Structure 1
């Protein structure tokens, strides 16, 4: 077996293992609980999960989605997060190979996974992720020549500022709050990691997909425009799309008609 295949398999497995920890973050951060202590346990019978019951994806299948002791159903979200993070890690490795960019983008994608599932369930985006993320993204920019600290700084201002203007504009026109501060800080974090050039792409892609899905959900559920749909997952999805295809799509768009 070639070293490339071995490293690819390892990348997937490593991502899935980290995905198990991300599940802890998704469950505990909205509650303000520690992600380190106490150890993972059943929420019904407090059974401390043993290592052999905490193997990503496989343990869920072997347990048939139930607690070993009391039979409490385990959410399908757990293996899905592990699988998703494993696939993202594999794709990052295949595109960027081992190195500093891979590490940075791996951390970023892990944060996006946590934010997506928390926002879907609780409609909040934790400041404990976005605020340190803004700082980390800016610090990282000093070590990535293609990004640069000035580009990152402008990205922070452009990302947070653009959504802040949208939020104020909507509040002024509709006389109610339409976009939370979490979305604003999230886009500022994305600007810190990718620079200001990524901001228009992320806004456009997330708005387009969000509009299509939002309208579809409202038609299916037969509810009006007051239906609240979290925007964070669309921002996160657009940012991940930018990582893999953003520059190519922007280049393609700019060359249309030439």
Structure 2
């Protein structure tokens, strides 16, 4: 593990975590993420720079607005801390490799899109589109650095395969899947495909495993047999990370079980 890379990535994640809160709050409301400056939603007072320090600012204010005393959701420091931890873990695990920017992009948008989907049941195009562009840039940089054009082809195949699968699933059962999921699928397919076939296969399949497990859990908690609705985007993203982390291990295990290795 590269502790120094992990440390600097954690600092980057902490700063981007603060920006992610702006994105999560404003984009679903159709507001700009650039202007106006951050302000208290209760009284409209601008947040002072010293109070806008990730995590520390919220703790200093004890979770309340400095002007009107209105409570500030704990979601803000939690998102910042989670982003810092995610970036730190990825940086420490990968080190200074060309795949690092791609995985950091995946980490950032995983947290942002999951937060929005849980809250609004939407995956906004204004977020999925830049996610796609950054993934393409990351894949091209990765391919050029490694001198392997096949990485780009594998990513294209992954995007087409996962995108087509979700599109067919949407046509077959539109109540069970949204268009946002369909648009997110090729982005995740390209990301996983660029990393390897095992990551693509396991990551694509794991999304439905996670979704099924969570759906069954919600039905048990609500004591219902049907009619349970859950956002699927977070489980697509969790499935993608499952493929990234243990995809090759699961694929090798499966091949041994069926006797192909």
Partners of 1:214 and 1:229 within 8 A in 2: yes
| Cα offset, 1:202, TM superposition | 2.3
Instruction: Decide which of 108, 111, 115 is 2:109's aligned counterpart.
Output: 111
Report Cα offsets for 1:70-127 as digits up to 9, x if no partner.
1111112111111111111111111111243212211221111110000000000011
1:163 maps to 166
Aligned pairs for 1:6-155 (under 5 A) are: 6-145=4-143, 148-155=151-158
Over residues 131-173 of structure 1, what are the superposed CA-to-partner deviations in whole Å (9 max), with x where a residue is unaligned?
Answer: 34334433433333466221111111111110111122224xx
RMSD (CA atoms): 2.0
The separation in 1 between residues aligned to 2:155 and 2:235, in whole angstroms, is 21
**Counterpart Cα distance in 2 of 1:51 and 1:98:** 32
**Counterpart among 175, 179, 182 of residue 180 in structure 2:** 182
Instruction: Name the structure 2 match of 1:216.
Output: 217
Distance 1:141 1:7 in 2: 20
Q: Is contact 2:55-2:77 (8 Å) kept?
A: yes
* Aligned residue pairs, count: 250
Gaps of 5+ in 2: none
139-148 or 77-86, which deviates more: 139-148
Asked if the contact 2:159/2:188 (under 8 Å) is kept, the reply is yes
- Comparing 47-56 with 28-37, which one deviates more in the overlay? 47-56
Distance (whole Å) between structure 1 residues aligned to residue 255 and residue 106 of structure 2: 27
2:237 corresponds in structure 1 to 236
Counterparts of 1:17 and 1:141, CA distance in 2 = 24
CA contact (8 A) 1:88 1:109 kept: yes
TM-score scaled to structure 1, two decimals? 0.89
Partners of 1:16 and 1:241 in 2: CA distance: 23
**Secondary structure of the residue that 2:40 maps to in structure 1?**
coil
Deviation digits for residues 209-231 of structure 1 (CA, Å, limit 9, x no counterpart): 22122111122123442221000
Residue 6 of structure 1: CA displacement?
4.7
Distance (Å, rounded) in 2 between the aligned partners of 1:105 and 1:6:
17
Question: Per the alignment, in what secondary structure is the counterpart of residue 238 of structure 2?
Answer: helix
Contact 2:203 2:244 survives alignment (8 Å): no
